[in-house]
Amino acid sequence: VTIKEVKLHHTNVSLIAPFTTSFGTMQNKDVCLVEVIDESGLSGWGETATSNEPYYNEETTATTVYMLKEFLIPRLIHREIGHPGEVHGMLEFVRRNNLAKAAIETAIWDVFAKKNEQSIAELIGGEKKEIEVGKSIGIQKDPATLVEKVREYVDEGFRKIKVKIKPGADIDYIAAVRKEFPDIVLMADANSAYSLKDIEHLKQLDPYNLIMIEQPLAHDDIIDHARLQRELTTPICLDESIHSVEDTRKAIELGSCKIINIKIGRVGGLSESIRIHDLCKANDIAVWCGGMLETGVGRAHNIQMTTLSNFTIPGDTAPSSHYWEEDIVTPEIIMENGIIHVPTGFGIGYEIDEEKLRKVLVHRETIRT
């Protein structure tokens, strides 16, 4: 494909409820939807999957827009792109800025798949027709409130429950949930809230049969995690620390984790995600697809990727109604019995609803050079 034009749809979206992690609370955010238009007039869509603050990682919506406009779009526009798998390499001259890179790389996967009259899943050899879904629950005011939330989501059919934790909201919270629900698939996500000083404290989670603890230590660490993993029976999963297949290789070599959360944005796109998936598969490391409170565009990409065979653990791809009063894709993403049926349409498999997009739109700009 050759990109003739890129439209940046700057939106402001509001979550149906605030979402609290160890690094802060999210409610409103600007998101930039990236639409690439090819020589035949077909559109492909991606999103920045950012928030307005650099608390999860170093990027924000504004930095991704800046990188897209100054460096990434100029490198890609009007160039012949034989396959979307080439885009990651074409953008390697820019260090990091993975959320920005993924926004346009995924849009190119979408337009390329549409041109081939295939879904992205078909294009990448994804075999699953349905994917299992988990629910990520923000930090609640007390364990009893959390238990009621978990009940609601278990009743709704979610196949995995992920509880956000931080010092002061951890052991009691997990103990309360486990006591009430002895058999659910349960995990915790600390978003880097602990350090090696907390080894004895974190060991208190071991009796609760968590399928994993996600990113307990520093956002940029793979050394201390290896030490912690030797001390814990609970498997460690890395999220923030993994930006590439090279990081993955090193984490596996060091024994820093037993599971990896793959987020398309954090690793700079779908092709790098696939390389990580494949390397983990070859090394018996399970993977699952995380989420970044994306709109339907980002989550549609997540669904397509999750069709690959080594995504054996339910992801964080909850249905549209769990995030937004109204999502911008049509049909909205729905779940039945904890399952999302992978759409069979071309590209991401969902359409962008122009009416709904207009309601959250702040401004639009078209880039042609």
- Residues of each annotated binding site: 189, 214, 239
Is 191 one of the binding residues for ligand OSB (CB under 6 A)? yes
Looking at the Cβ atoms of 270 and 292, the one nearer to ligand OSB is 292
| Residue from the set 84, 290, 296, 314 that interacts with ligand OSB by CB under 6 A | 290
Looking at the Cβ atoms of 134 and 349, the one nearer to Mg ion is 134
The answer to whether residues 309 and 128 touch, using CB atoms and an 8 Å cutoff, is: yes
Instruction: Name which of residues 53 to 82 contact ligand OSB (CB under 6 A).
Output: 56
**Residue number, nearest CB to ligand OSB:** 291
Catalytic-residue membership of 263: yes
Query: Which DSSP helix (H) or strand (E) runs through 34?
Result: strand 24-38
Please state whether the peptide bond connecting residue 18 to the residue before it is cis, i.e. omega within 30 degrees of 0. Answer: no
Q: Choose the stretch contacting ligand OSB; rule: CB under 6 A; options: 146-154, 230-238, 247-255, 288-296.
A: 288-296
Binding site members for Mg(2+):
189, 214, 239
Largest interatomic CA distance in the chain: 60
Q: Measured from the CB of residue 316, what is the shortest distance to Mg ion in angstroms?
A: 8
Is 189 one of the binding residues for ligand OSB (CB under 6 A)? yes
For residues 292-324, b (16+ Cβ closer than 10 Å) or e, as one string? bbbbbbbbbbbbbbbbbebbebbbbbbbbebbb
Looking at the Cβ atoms of 159 and 266, the one nearer to Mg ion is 266
Q: Measured from the CB of residue 240, what is the shortest distance to Mg ion in angstroms?
A: 7
252-256: long-range contacts (C-beta < 8 A, 24 or more apart)? 252/279, 252/280, 252/283, 252/285, 254/222, 254/223, 254/226, 255/226, 255/229, 255/230, 256/222, 256/223, 256/225, 256/226, 256/229
Looking at the Cβ atoms of 138 and 345, the one nearer to Mg ion is 138
Please state, in angstroms and rounded to a whole number, the distance separating the CA atoms of residues 246 and 179: 40
Catalytic-residue membership of 258: no
Q: Measured from the CB of residue 68, what is the shortest distance to ligand OSB in angstroms?
A: 20
Looking at the Cβ atoms of 132 and 214, the one nearer to Mg ion is 214
Q: Measured from the CB of residue 243, what is the shortest distance to ligand OSB in angstroms?
A: 14
DSSP-assigned states of every residue in 205-262: TGGG--S-EE--S-TT-SHHHHHHHHH-SSPEEESTT--SHHHHHHHHHHT--SEEEE
- Tell me which of ligand OSB, Mg ion, none is bound by residue 318, counting a contact when its beta carbon lies within the kind-specific cut-off of 5 to 8 angstroms: ligand OSB
> Given 29, 114, 135, 263, which residue is catalytic?
263
Which residues bind to Mg ion, rule: CB under 5 A? 189, 214, 239
Q: Choose the stretch contacting ligand OSB; rule: CB under 6 A; options: 100-108, 199-207, 290-298, 361-369.
A: 290-298
Q: Choose the stretch contacting ligand OSB; rule: CB under 6 A; options: 58-66, 241-249, 285-293, 327-335.
A: 285-293
- Tell me which of Mg ion, ligand OSB, none is bound by residue 350, counting a contact when its beta carbon lies within the kind-specific cut-off of 5 to 8 angstroms: none
Phi, psi of 227 (to 5 degrees): -65, -45
Please state, in angstroms and rounded to a whole number, the distance separating the CA atoms of residues 253 and 283: 10
Is 293 one of the binding residues for ligand OSB (CB under 6 A)? yes
DSSP-assigned states of every residue in 79-91: SB-S-GGGHHHHT
CB neighbours of residue 14 within 10 Å: 13
Q: Choose the stretch contacting ligand OSB; rule: CB under 6 A; options: 28-36, 91-99, 193-201, 287-295.
A: 287-295
Q: Measured from the CB of residue 140, what is the shortest distance to ligand OSB in angstroms?
A: 14
Catalytic residues: 164, 263
